[in-house]
């Protein structure tokens, strides 16, 4: 859950403005991304699925400016979360995911 405005991006394409307004229905509950990221001038964060994610959930309303998660009903989930200083885009998450995906192929 994020309490600061920002941008949300998911690995299966798409992005949404996290501002508490909740007008991003086409972004949430769609696709099966294996990672998502959120970022703004003061923070960056990302979540990566180490076990296959089956779904994606997203809320953005009220005082909580975005809540996201990768779902895997009925199975043990393994995720890695990263946090860091602010950034202007989600390139950091894409680069980390691509590097991790390369190690899986080996």
Q: For the chain, what are the domain ranges?
A: 6-105
pLDDT, residue 4, reads 80
Residue with tokens 């975005």: 66
Beta strands in 11-98 (DSSP E): 15-18, 35-40, 43-49, 55-61, 64-71, 79-84
pLDDT at 32: 83
Order across the sheet with 79-84: list the strands: 15-18, 6-10, 35-40, 43-49, 79-84
Q: What is the pLDDT of residue 106?
A: 59
Global pTM? Answer: 0.85
**What is the pLDDT at residue 22?**
74
In the chain (106 residues long), the average pLDDT of successive 10-residue segments reads 83 85 72 90 93 84 78 82 95 93 75
């Amino acid at each position: 859950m994020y309490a600061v405005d920002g941008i949300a991006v998911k690995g299966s394409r798409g992005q949404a403005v996290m501002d508490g307004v909740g007008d991003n229905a086409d972004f949430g509950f769609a696709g099966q991304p294996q990672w998502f990221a959120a970022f703004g001038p003061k923070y960056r964060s990302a979540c990566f699925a180490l076990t296959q994610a089956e779904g994606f959930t997203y809320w953005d309303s009220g005082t909580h400016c975005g809540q996201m998660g990768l779902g895997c009903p009925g199975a043990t989930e393994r995720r890695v979360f990263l946090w860091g200083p602010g950034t202007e885009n989600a390139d950091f998450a894409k680069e980390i995911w691509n590097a991790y995906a390369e190690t899986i192929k080996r």
